[in-house]
Amino acid sequence: MNNAVLDTIAARRSHRAYEATPVTDKQLDALLKACMDAPSAVNRQPWHVSVVRNQALLHEMNAELRAQMMQREASERSPRFADPSFDVFYHAPLVLFLSANPDWRYSALDCGIAVQNIALAAESMGLGSVILGMPRDAFAGSRREEFEKALGFLPGEVFQIAIAIGVPADNKDAHPVHEGHVSYID
């Protein structure tokens, strides 16, 4: 089937290496529009987006979440942390953080839908991305308020999800599809 949306969905990958090339303001505007165009329960649009190009802040957050992760058993953290130079943001030139008030029961789901809109928009524009849950751990310790303030979270909001975006510098195969996840009820 010749369908640009399906082609974009099929071509998207999680990219974990990026060129230093900045994401332009025009590209950023299109990514934010794709986010805001997402559906949400009762059209609440619970997300707030923090646009981060500040590498020093990302570096600080990476250091803090590494410290949090290293307090856990090795089996409870990604094996990627075995590499001391591992950067959870993969040195992407742009990271978007989605925050929302957790008291609304659809916040996490709506943010997940919105972040996928961003990922597909990025792919359609020749950019790469990776959705990031791991930055949550940067907010697990004593620096939570400092980072929430630095990111401009609105009162009552907490981290929901992030997405790193840039010109990809890696190649990745499509993920293998697990079988048995569909039931046909006639």
Ligand X SMILES: Cc1cc2nc3c(=O)[nH]c(=O)nc-3n(C[C@H](O)[C@H](O)[C@H](O)COP(=O)(O)O)c2cc1C
**Site residues (CB under 6 A) for ligand X?**
13-14, 16, 130-134, 161, 172, 175
Smallest distance from the beta carbon of 47 to ligand X, in angstroms? Answer: 14
Of residues 166, 142, 130, the one with CA closest to residue 65 = 142
Give the shortest CB-175-to-ligand X separation in angstroms.
4
- Least separation in angstroms between CB 184 and ligand X: 24
The nearest distance, CB 115 to ligand X, in angstroms, is: 8
User: What is the edge-to-edge ordering of all strands in the sheet holding 94-100?
Assistant: 48-52, 94-100, 158-166, 128-132
HSE (CB half, 13 Å, CA atoms) of 130?
Answer: 22
Please state the φ and ψ torsions of residue 77, each to the nearest 5 degrees: -135, 160
Looking at the Cβ atoms of 14 and 101, the one nearer to ligand X is: 14
Q: Considering beta carbons, is residue 126 or 155 the nearer one to ligand X? A: 126
Cβ closer to ligand X: 30 or 164? 164
Closer Cβ to ligand X, 12 or 144, answer by number? 12
Q: With contact defined as beta carbons under 8 Å apart, do 91 and 60 qualify?
A: no
